[in-house]
């Protein structure tokens, strides 16, 4: 563990304000499995949006399948609304290389052609390997590539970050 401390709850409050600005009346929230899905679920409730937030998984479009196989797992995509013509706001916890975002955009297109796709994240940790930028990030930090920043959801629904060195 490093000494870096990120207050996930304080950042969530920032994200909530940022998302409130980005959202249009017809926008649909879609959280990226798993951390982004927790965030989208809570944002959806706090913003009193109708219906349910969507969940999207990168697993079927990952570009490291030949190296990692399906070992990483990942939940199933659940989009309880039509994607054709929709305004989608993707939510994720940590934005790093951008590869997950590329994969979930491909996944999204398997369900239809959205009108607009936007992205809001809790933390942008730099290190992009693809030309992908979020419309909103509650925090921007720079971390060494070998460190993994992970969001956890505690039993009471509150969020916390942990930072580990990759082995």
Partner 1 sequence: MLSRRNPQLNANGELIHLLSIEGLPREVLVHILDTAGTFLSVNEREVKKVPLLRGKSVFNLFFENSTRTRTTFEIAAKRLSADVINLDIARSSTAKGESLLDTIANLSAMHADMFVVRHSESGAPYLIARHCAPHVHVVNAGDGRHAHPTQGLLDMYAIRHYKKDFSQLTVAIVGDIVHSRVARSDIHALTTLGVPEVRVVGPRTLVPGDLHAMGVRVCHDMAEGMRDADVIIMLRLQNERMTGAMLPSAAEFAKTFGLTPDKLALAKSDAIVMHPGPINRGVEIDSSVADGQASVILPQVTFGIAVRMAVMSIIAGNEA
Does residue 60 touch partner 1 according to CB under 8 A?
Answer: yes
Q: Is the CB of 3 or the CB of 167 nearer to partner 1?
A: 167
Rounded to 10 degrees, the C-alpha dihedral 117/122/126/131 comes to 0
Binder to partner 1 among 3, 5, 66, 167 (CB under 8 A)?
Answer: 66
68 binds partner 1 (CB under 8 A): yes
Does 160 bind partner 1 (CB under 8 A)? Our answer is no
What is the SS3 assignment for 21?
A: helix
Of 4 and 70, nearer to partner 1 (C-beta) is 70
Tell me the closest approach of the beta carbon of residue 67 to partner 1, in angstroms: 9
User: What is the residue whose two structure tokens read 């990952």?
Assistant: 62
Distance CA 118, CA 129 (A): 19
Cα(27)–Cα(53) distance, rounded to whole angstroms?
10
Q: Could you give the residue ranges of the DSSP H alpha helices within the chain? A: 8-22, 35-46, 65-68, 99-109
CA distance 83 to 29: 12
From the list 3-11, 56-64, 127-135, 154-162, the region that binds partner 1 by CB under 8 A is 56-64
Q: Does 57 bind partner 1 (CB under 8 A)?
A: yes
Q: Considering the complex, what minimum distance in angstroms separates the CB of residue 60 from partner 1?
A: 4
Name residues whose C-beta falls within 8 Å of residue 116's C-beta, 6 or more positions apart in sequence. Answer: 87, 88
70 belongs to the binding site for partner 1 (CB under 8 A) = yes
81 binds partner 1 (CB under 8 A): no
Contact between 52 and partner 1 (CB under 8 A)? no
Where does this chain bind partner 1 (CB under 8 A)? 57, 59-61, 65-66, 68-71, 73-77, 106, 109-112
């Amino acid at each position: 563990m490093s000494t870096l401390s990120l207050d996930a709850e304080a950042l969530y409050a920032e994200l909530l304000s940022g998302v409130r600005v980005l959202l249009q009346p017809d926008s649909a929230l879609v959280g990226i499995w798993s951390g982004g899905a927790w965030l989208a679920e809570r944002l959806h409730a706090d913003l009193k949006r109708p219906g349910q937030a969507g969940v999207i998984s990168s697993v079927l479009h990952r570009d490291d399948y030949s190296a990692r196989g399906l070992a990483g797992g990942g939940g199933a995509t659940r989009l309880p609304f039509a994607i054709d013509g929709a305004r989608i706001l993707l939510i994720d916890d940590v934005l790093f290389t951008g590869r997950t975002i590329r994969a979930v955009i491909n996944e999204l297109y398997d369900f239809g052609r959205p009108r607009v796709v936007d992205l809001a994240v809790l933390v942008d940790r730099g290190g992009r390997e693809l030309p992908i930028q979020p419309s909103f990030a509650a925090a921007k930090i720079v971390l060494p590539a070998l460190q993994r920043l992970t969001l956890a959801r505690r039993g009471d629904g509150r969020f916390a970050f942990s930072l580990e060195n990759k082995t």
